[in-house]
Homo-oligomer: A and B are copies of this chain.
Amino acid sequence: MDRPPPPRDQGDREKVNTPPPKSTPATGKRQRYGMADVAARAGTSVGTVSNVLNHPELVAEKTRRRVREAIDSLGFVRNAPAVNLRAGSSPAVGVVVLDIANPFFTEVLRGAEDRLAAEGLLLIVCSSDDAVDKEGHYLRVLEEHRVHGILITPAMADLTPLMELRDRGLGVVLLDRTEADGKLCAVAVDDVRGGELAGQHLLSLGHRRIAFLNGPSSLRQCAERRKGLHRAVILAGLDPAAVLVEITVPSLNARGGEAAIEEIDGDLPTAVICVNDLVALGALRAFEQRGIAVPDQVSLVGYDDVDFAAMLSPPLTTIRQPKYQLGKAAAELFLTDSRQDDKHWHQQTVFQPELIVRESTARFG
C-alpha cells in the first residue's frame, strides 16, 4: 500500500520516483521508457526490474508489485532488440518458401506456425519465387537477424550454404525436400511414390499417352515425381519415351497450367498429370475454354489435394499430401534440431502420399 520511502539513504541519488524522467521534448510525443526509468519510478535498481521480468520468483512480493505498477503507469515496453543482442539470438524462425500465395505452402506454414507459436517463436516468411539470388538475400538477412533457425524449400541446387548455416548454429529443416546424405533435417512426402501412384492409376485405366506438366527439374519435388512416373511406366513394361510427353510449365500456378495446355497443338495426350493442383486447375480452365471434356476426352490428375480439389468441376483425382502435418513435423524437427546441440541425428521424416480417385480420370479406350 504505502509506498515506503526511498530505500537507501544516500540523498544524492536522483533517480527515485521521478515521474517522467529522461528528456523533456517540446512535443510530448513518442516518448519511450526503459528499464532504468521503471527502476527509478519503483525506487529500485534495473537489475531488480529485469528480475521481475525474467525471474519473478527471485523478487520479493512487495517489490514485484511496485515494479509492475511502475511498468504499467509508464507504459514500459521491453526492447526486444536489446534482449536479443544480449541473448545472441532472436526468438524467431525464418520460413523461406517458393510462394506464400500457394495454398500448399500456406497450409504447411500454418502447421509450422501453430507449433512454433507454442514455443513463443515468431515466424518470418519469405517468398523466394524459386530465385536463387532472392533466396540467398533472405538467408543472409535472416542470419543477420540471428533467428533460431530456418525452414526452407530450397531453390538452390547445392545445399552447402544451408549446411554452413547449420554449422554456424542455426536449426535448418528442409521443407518438402529430402536430402540423401542425411546431413540436414528434412520433412517431405515421398514424391517418387507420389509420381508412381499417379502413373499407375492412369496406366491401369488404359492410358498410353500421358502428358506431364512439370516444374523445372531443378526442383527436387519435380524431378522426383517425374522419376516415380517413369518407374510406373517401366514397371508396366512400357517405354517412357513413347508414353510420356513432358512439358515444363512457365510457372507453378494456375496461369502456368493454362499456358501449358494452350500451347499444346497437334494430337492431345489422353491424360495429363500436373505437378500440383494449381497447375491442374489452370489446365482444367484451358480445357474448358477449348471445349475439351474432362474426363471424357482427357483424364486429369493433380497433386497436393488442396482444399478445393474435391469441389472442382469435375472433382479432381489427385495425390494427397499431409500439408499441415508436414509443417508441424518440420517445426518439431527444428525444435529438436536446435535444442540438442550436438548429438542430434539429422532426421528425415517422410510422409507417404495417397492417391485420391475422383472424377477427373476415366478409362481410356
Contact = CB atoms under 8 A, between A and B. Distances in A.
Interface residues of A, number: 55
Interface of A: 29-30, 32, 75, 77-85, 88, 90, 92, 99-101, 103, 106-107, 109-110, 113, 117, 122-127, 140-141, 143-146, 167-169, 254, 278, 281, 284-285, 306-308, 310-315
Contact of A146 (B80, B92, B99): B80
B29 A145 contact: no
A106 B109 CA distance: 11
A273 to B, nearest CB: 18
| Chain A binding surface, main DSSP class | mixed
Contacts of A85: 79, 81-82, 85
How many copies the complex holds: the figure is: 2
A79 B123 contact: no
A146 B140 CA distance: 20
A113 B29 CA distance: 30
Given A106-B103, A123-B125, A80 B307 contact: no
8 contacts: A77-B168, A79-B144, A101-B106, A101-B107, A103-B307, A113-B127, A117-B126, A124-B124
Contacts of A284: 311
A231 to B, nearest CB: 31
A123 to B, nearest CB: 6
